[in-house]
Structure 1
Amino acid sequence: MAASFNDGKGTIVSAGGGDVRATQSFVRVLSECWKRPTLTAVEVLWRWLYGIPALLVLWRAGMRIAAAAPMSIKALESMTVTQPMKVAETIAEAMADLLPPIAAEAVWLGPLLLVTWVVWSSLGRTMVLRKMDPALHARPWTLMVLQAIRIVALAASFVVWFLCLQWAANMTVTGPLSHGGEPNLVGYFALAIIATLVLFVLWAVVSWVFSVAPLLAMLRNVGVGASLASAFQLGPLKSKLVEINLVMGIVKIALIVLALVFSSTPLPFESVATPEFLYTWWAGVAVLYLVASDFFHVARLLGYLRLWRAYETPEKESQN
Structure 2
Amino acid sequence: MAPLPDPFDYRAVSQTAQSERVTQSFVATLAWVRKRPVLTAFEVLWRWVYGIPALLLIWHEGVRILLATQLDYAGLKQMTLLDPMKSSVTLGKAALALGPQDEAVAVWLVPLLLVTWVIVSSLGRTLVLQRADERLHARPITLMVLQAIRMTALCVSFMCWFLCLQWAAEVAVTGPIASNQEPSLVLYFGLAIVATLGLFTLWAVVSWGLSVAPLLAMLHGWGAWKSLRSSFRLGALKIKLVEINLVLGIVKIALIVLAMVFSASPLPFETVASQTFLTWWWCGVMVLYFIGSDFFHVARLVAYLDLWRASAAGAPDK
Q: Normalising to structure 1: TM-score of the pair?
A: 0.93
Task: State the match for 2:97 in structure 1.
Answer: 97
Shift of 1:66: 0.7
Among all aligned residue pairs of Structure 1 and Structure 2, give the percentage whose two residues are the same amino acid.
Answer: 60
**Amino acid in structure 2 at the alignment position of 1:55:** L
Task: State the match for 2:113 in structure 1.
Answer: 113
- CA offsets, 1:271-296, max 9 Å, x none? 00011110110111000000000000
Shift of 1:100: 1.0
Counterparts of 1:27-176 in structure 2, within 5 Å, are 27-176=27-176
Distance 2:72 2:214 in 1: 44
Taking a change above 3 Å as real, the CA distance of residues 261 and 160 of structure 1, as seen in their structure-2 partners, is: same
Asked if the contact 2:174–2:183 (Cα under 8 Å) also holds between the matched residues in 1, the reply is: yes
Distance 2:81 2:157 in 1: 29
Task: State the match for 1:254 in structure 2.
Answer: 254
Shift of 1:184: 1.2
Shift of 1:72: 4.2
Shift of 1:115: 0.7
Task: State the match for 2:296 in structure 1.
Answer: 296
Task: State the match for 2:266 in structure 1.
Answer: 266
**Amino acid in structure 2 at the alignment position of 1:107:** V
- CA offsets, 1:34-71, max 9 Å, x none? 00110001000111111111111111011111112142
- CA offsets, 1:84-134, max 9 Å, x none? 111111111111100111112111111111111110100000000101111
Task: State the match for 2:190 in structure 1.
Answer: 190
**Amino acid in structure 1 at the alignment position of 2:126:** T
Distance 1:237 1:9 in 2: 19
Q: Normalising to structure 2: TM-score of the pair?
A: 0.94
Asked if the contact 1:126–1:140 (Cα under 8 Å) also holds between the matched residues in 2, the reply is: yes
Gaps of at least 5 residues in structure 2 are: none
Shift of 1:245: 0.3
Shift of 1:78: 3.1
Distance 1:84 1:261 in 2: 23
Counterparts of 1:177-256 in structure 2, within 5 Å, are 177-256=177-256
Superposition CA RMSD, Å: 2.0
Bigger shift: residues 169-178 or 287-296: 169-178
Shift of 1:172: 1.3
Shift of 1:190: 0.7
Bigger shift: residues 251-260 or 229-238: 229-238
**Amino acid in structure 2 at the alignment position of 1:81:** L
Asked if the contact 1:13–1:307 (Cα under 8 Å) also holds between the matched residues in 2, the reply is: no
Bigger shift: residues 164-173 or 15-24: 15-24
Gaps of at least 5 residues in structure 1 are: none
